[in-house]
Amino acid sequence: MTTARPDPQAADPPLAGVVVVELDAGYISYVGKILTDFGARVIKVEPPGGDEQRQATPVYRGQDGNEHSIPFAYYNAGKESVTLDLADPGQAASLDRLIGAADVLLDGLGAGVAQSLGLTRERLGALRPGLIHASVSPFGQTGPWRGHRTSDMIALTLGGVTAQSGYDSVNGRPSQPISPTGGQSRHIVGLLAGIAVVAALADRPATGVLSLDLSMHDAVAVSTESYVSMWEFGRIEGFRHTAQHANGEFTPPAWQFRCADGGYVCALTLYLTDRRFRALIDLFDTHGFEHGLDDDRYATVSQRQQVMHEIVDTIAAFCRQHPAQFVFDQAQQRQLPWSKVRSPDEVAADAHLHARGFYQPLELFPGEQVQWPGLPWQGLPSALLDAGPARRTRAPQPGEDTERLTGGPAPAADDHQRVHE
């Protein structure tokens, strides 16, 4: 069952009428996606041959016979594409005209690159008084690391995330750090940059340029959870725990339990209050599971903490007898903070998300609709999901809008080397 999205009552999306020019070398396309979702018109300026993200995997072979990068389609749906060789003065003049009609310049070229192209603060202010210039780079436009390169793993490692993510020590071996995957560092800075741009649009300057310098390193460091604050304020070194939060004390009991169907449940035993402990006993008693947890040794929180490994072993034995979904449903009925560990395909089939209208049909590839993983808000009209027939929702072809927006043809892919290589 799918519930329709709330009726936008034909209202314009929040950023309708806002024009954005996006220059990117791999850092800012998510910001452009956020602004597109909110209704801004985002013009992506690509180098000859197209943005490197067009080669990102995985790919989808469409009905048109072409292979399409799924990441590129996701981050660039609804945008327009202009191909310009910014090393060519004539092509650079076309960029000047685009900026002169824009409200926001998204600069993901890297520290100092825009300035090397002549896009200085003074010149941008002359091209478009009141322009918001938001740059996203690995380490910011200033500082001793401004020229350093990065990757998702480097950003998460330097920002403190990796230090608190990992596995327990096993058989005397030190715990192993891990870094999550999936471009999370770009999403972290992208969300913060999107918020900053929307806030800036609410109070734009009349003259000059409002410059926003966003660093991936800053964004990850300020967003890292307890590990950094434990050290900064208490000089407490945290321990990594498998599938748990980092903690100043080593807590060996696990939180994830294999169930009868091979699935896993994450059963939080931290903060096992009296109410939760009674709920746990009720869960076991209701389903005829012998547990022995009504002994006086488990009467208080402090007592339970001393024998937590016994409680954990009991939960593990219960889970081995039941499917993961059953354990999750029963725990939720008793307000126990447990959850089923779900695979991406299970999330895609999530009845709750479908009931809220989270997935919506969208033409993401030429002539093809997919179930679009929608927007994390309800009640606001969406520039893509509520688009009229005149708005293109799929990702643009390389340079598709060049002639229409600049009056000239797109340069050939081998005319010049890319400016940010």
Q: What is the mean pLDDT of each run of 10 residues along the chain (421 residues)?
A: 49 91 96 94 96 93 90 94 94 95 97 95 96 97 95 91 77 73 90 96 93 96 80 80 71 80 90 93 96 93 91 95 97 95 90 89 88 79 74 90 87 51 34
**Structural domains of the chain, count:** 2
Among the candidates 311, 336, 361, a domain finishes at 336
Q: Are residues 366 and 299 in the same domain?
A: no
**pLDDT for residue 328:** 96
**pLDDT for residue 171:** 64
**pLDDT for residue 384:** 81
**pLDDT for residue 418:** 39
- Which amino acid belongs to residue 311? I
Domain membership of residue 342 (yes or no) is no
Q: Are residues 63 and 34 in the same domain?
A: yes
Q: Are residues 220 and 304 in the same domain?
A: no
Q: Output the six-digit token pair for 313.
A: 């072993």
DSSP H helix total and E strand total for the chain = 16, 13
Q: Are residues 307 and 212 in the same domain?
A: no
Contact 328, 352 (CB under 8 A): no
Domain membership of residue 370 (yes or no) is yes
Q: Are residues 93 and 195 in the same domain?
A: yes
Contact 73, 395 (CB under 8 A): yes
Q: Are residues 131 and 25 in the same domain?
A: yes
Domain membership of residue 264 (yes or no) is no
**pLDDT for residue 265:** 95
**pLDDT for residue 389:** 66
Q: Are residues 63 and 153 in the same domain?
A: yes
Length of the chain counted residue by residue: 421
Cα-only R_g, the chain: 26
Q: Are residues 120 and 162 in the same domain?
A: yes
> Can you tell me the distance from the alpha carbon of 421 to that of 413, in angstroms, rounded to the nearest whole number?
14
Domain membership of residue 259 (yes or no) is no
Q: Nearest CA to 234 among 246, 216, 219, 251? A: 246
Q: Are residues 216 and 326 in the same domain?
A: no
**pLDDT for residue 385:** 78
CATH of residue 193: 3.40.50.10540
Contact 372, 385 (CB under 8 A): yes
Domain membership of residue 258 (yes or no) is no
Residues in Cβ contact with 37 at an 8 Å cutoff, skipping those fewer than 6 apart: 78, 375, 382, 383, 384
> Can you tell me the distance from the alpha carbon of 282 to that of 206, in angstroms, rounded to the nearest whole number?
65
Domain membership of residue 89 (yes or no) is yes
Among the candidates 336, 360, 392, a domain finishes at 336
Helices 184-201 and 29-37, axial angle in degrees (round to 10): 50
**pLDDT for residue 170:** 65
**pLDDT for residue 227:** 73
Domain membership of residue 13 (yes or no) is no
pTM of whole model > 0.85? yes
Q: Which helix (H) or strand (E) holds 199?
A: helix 184-201
Structural domain range at position 180: 19-224+352-406
Q: Are residues 363 and 331 in the same domain?
A: no
Domain membership of residue 421 (yes or no) is no
**pLDDT for residue 10:** 55
Q: Are residues 314 and 392 in the same domain?
A: no
Q: Nearest CA to 99 among 78, 110, 111, 114? A: 114
Q: Are residues 203 and 330 in the same domain?
A: no
